[in-house]
Structures are given as structure tokens and as C-alpha cells.
Amino acid sequence: MIKIEIDNGHGIKSLKGSPDGRLKEWKYAREIAREVVKRLKAEGYDAELLVPEDADISLGERCNRVNAVCDRLGTKNVCLVSIHCNAAPPDDGRWHNARGWEAWTSVGQTQGDKLADCLYDAAERVLRPLIPDLRLRVDTTDGDRDKESNFAILRWSKCPACLTENLFQDNREDVEWLLSLCGRDAVVRLHVEGIKAYVGKYGKK
């Protein structure tokens, strides 16, 4: 069975969030992450929160935690999803117009790309009916949809890893939607379904 590690990004000291302060990324991502883990476990999957604390746990420590699990179980038997909300550059704490959902993996063709693929499919399936003008933000220049970056959590983790940016916390409409019951449920569901698809395809349940 593939062990699923869910990271919730920033900690309590992070100022990232909506300009009106209604959505705080560290808190929102924790609520989503907790629910994702709960639902996966309820369906018999081996999922856990990488950062159960509210504190800002360094990227180095988070990667150490993931890699300790990888060393114990084997890297292909572990996957990591890090949950975030996006902000338009320059991330200046003001409202902007960018919208959409995207996922990031480390640079190069890796198993993380397969995980991202499952998450993109789930985002399309779950979000599209609710957000008809949904923009799935992709980079297809390397033959797949995910965007690639040297984000530490993706680069240092030994197992397949993917970071999701769930709409924009500096877009008024996105924030309204993210905070709604329907929005929260959809963000949870897209992760649960995407991860289940990945585990079903590449591991034994």
C-alpha cells in the first residue's frame, strides 16, 4: 500500500492569505489537509498529516520527515502532496485578477508527474462542473500538464511529490468560492480522488 503524506505548507506565522484577511493560507490548507487525510483513512488508505503542528516547520524538517518514511517503506511506496493557495506575482497583499488551479512537480520526468496527472484529471472532473470557466493552468512544453520548479519540498523529497495551488487567495471570486462549503468540499474531493486514482494505478490499495 502506498503511504500518503499530506503537507499543509506554511505555519501560523505566515502572513500569506487574502487581502481582507478572511482566508489565511496556513489555516485554510490545514483544514483541507486534515479533511483529505480523514476521508482517505475512512476509505482504508494509509494517509497521514506531515505537519500536525500549527507551527512553521522548516522545509528541511518537513523533507526529513518524508524521507524518513521513504527510507522505511521504499520511495515508490510513498507519495507526498503539498496543499497551497496561489497568489499572483508580485504577491503584494492586494487583490488581483489571476485565477485557476495548477500543480507543480520537481524538474524533469519523474513519478511525481504521474501523481500530478491524476490530480489534474481530478481537478477537471471535480472543479469544472462547479466553475464552468475554470482555468487549469498548465505547462505542456515538456509533454505533460504540470508546471515544474525547484521548490524545496519537491526537490528534496525522495518520493513522488506534487504541490497543488488551489485557486488564488488574492482573487475576490476565488476567495469567496474557496471559503464556501461547496468550495471547501470540492478542494478536498479533488485531492482525495486524485490520490486514490494514483494509488489505484501505481500501488496496491
Report the residue from 9, 100, 160, 183 that binds Zn ion according to the rule CB under 5 A.
9
Question: 122 near 199, Cβ under 8 Å?
Answer: no
User: Shortest Cβ distance from residue 140 to Zn ion (Å)?
Assistant: 24
* Residue showing the smallest CB distance to Zn ion in the complex: 84
Q: What are phi and psi of 30, to 5 degrees?
A: -65, -40
17 binds Zn ion (CB under 5 A): no
Give whichever of 73 and 98 is closer to Zn ion, judged by the CB atom.
98
How many C-beta atoms lie closer than 10 Å to residue 183's C-beta? Answer: 19
Report the residue from 84, 96, 114, 191 that binds Zn ion according to the rule CB under 5 A.
84
User: Shortest Cβ distance from residue 91 to Zn ion (Å)?
Assistant: 9
Measured in residues, the chain has a length of: 205
Dihedral (CA of 8, 10, 11, 17) sign: negative
**Grid cell of 106 as nine digits:** 520537481
Give whichever of 9 and 194 is closer to Zn ion, judged by the CB atom.
9
Size of the site for Zn ion (CB under 5 A): 2
191 binds Zn ion (CB under 5 A): no
User: Shortest Cβ distance from residue 163 to Zn ion (Å)?
Assistant: 8
143: left (phi over 0), alpha (psi -120 to 50) or beta: left
How many C-beta atoms lie closer than 10 Å to residue 141's C-beta? Answer: 8
Question: Which residues bind to Zn ion, rule: CB under 5 A?
Answer: 9, 84
